[in-house]
Structure 1
Amino acid sequence: MKIQLWSIGKENDPYIRDGIAVFQKRLQYYTDFELRLIPTVKQAASLPLPELKKQEGKMILDLLGPQDFLVALDERGKTFTTLQLADFLQQRINAATRQVVILIGGAYGIDTQVLQRAQLQLSLSSLTFPHQLVRLIMTEQLYRAYTVLQNEKYHHQ
């Protein structure tokens, strides 16, 4: 199964890029993982917020394949423990899912049409995090979940 972490926004700051690289390298032993940065909409600052979200949503929907399992990170989504995330990944593996796309939306959230397309809406926390930091957190959590599935010692239960 391939996992893609999609994020709308700019390149990572060096400390984020370095952290992601550590867990991306570790993840390669368990799964095919890719971080995909999607550039912001042109002239985003001049667009009304609903129009910006709509245009971002259209970009996302155009990039998704029909068989992609979409997980949208959204503050109103379901919360998982690390063990539940590991169970979710195992379910996707068992279901022979070819690709899971985990989406970090733009600065103002994810368009309704994309949320409706998502098979799962997931919340990392009730707190608000910078999008770049969410990329690092999600990459680490994926690595942690895979170590749980392999009964390795990284995650302490």
Structure 2
Amino acid sequence: MRVSGPDAFVVTIPLVNFGLPKRKCYWLISAGAREGSRAVRAVPIKVITVGKSSGGAADAYADEWASKVQRYTKLELVHCKSNPKDAQNPAVAKQAEGERLLRLLKPQDFVIVMDERGKELKSTDFAQLIAQAGDEGASSIAFCIGGPYGHTQQVRDKATRSIKLSAMVLNHQVAKIMLLEQIYRAWTILNGEPYHH
């Protein structure tokens, strides 16, 4: 867990009495901290995207945001092949993508599915969702971006939370860039940094 900046200080307390995981470092935020900042454990993040990497400008821009997120926590970008069985039927293709995606998830993951049916959050609420994963002792946060036909019901059922970036349908590369920017924004909110206005 890390919160940077002059408004953070460390206090050593017997964590077991507060229902917190043992052997974790927690920070307390002083009264001078910005609104929305709070103690948070730096849970590793993986962003799983169904679809191939283009290797072009979109990937370069995503990598730029990823490097900013990595100032705060470990981040892994994972590409899950779309339509791995080369099926002509969209339902079969989506099912195969879902099965492949589910194999990339671990039991202790805090799974956040990006879905047009999901809940729309403000950036400050999204930041608190990331903090919640740390509070609940998740081994990592797994963000799942679906392919052209979205997620299967099995993937939705696996989700700890389901959220949407927009009411509009987004290309997976655009969705990944938007998500990474919001993850970075969330960390600046939690750290009380002036990026978010």
Shorter chain as denominator, the TM-score bin is: over 0.9
Q: Deviations over 1:46-80 (max 9, x none)?
A: 43122111111111122211111111111010111
Residues 42-81 of structure 1: matches in 2 within 5 Å? 42-44=84-86, 46-81=87-122
Deviant stretches of 4+, over 3 Å: none
The alignment status of 1:15 with 2:15, answered yes or no, reads no
Q: How far apart, in 1, do the equivalents of 2:69 and 2:84 lie?
A: 33
User: Structure 2 unaligned runs (5+)?
Assistant: 1-42
Aligned residues: 155
Q: How far apart, in 2, do the equivalents of 1:35 and 1:68 lie?
A: 15
Q: How far apart, in 2, do the equivalents of 1:79 and 1:19 lie?
A: 24
SS of structure 2 residue aligned to 1:122 = strand
CA-CA distance at 1:43 after TM superposition = 4.5
Per the normalisation by structure 1, the TM-score is 0.93
CA-CA distance at 1:122 after TM superposition = 0.7
Which structure: greater helix fraction? 1
User: Structure 1 unaligned runs (5+)?
Assistant: none
Match of 1:108? Answer: 149
Per the normalisation by structure 2, the TM-score is 0.75
Higher RCO, 1 or 2 (CA under 8 Å, sep at least 6)?
A: 1
Matched-pair identity in % = 31
Q: How far apart, in 1, do the equivalents of 2:178 and 2:84 lie?
A: 28
Residues 1-40 of structure 1: matches in 2 within 5 Å? 1-40=43-82
Q: Deviations over 1:5-39 (max 9, x none)?
A: 00011113522122112211111111111111111
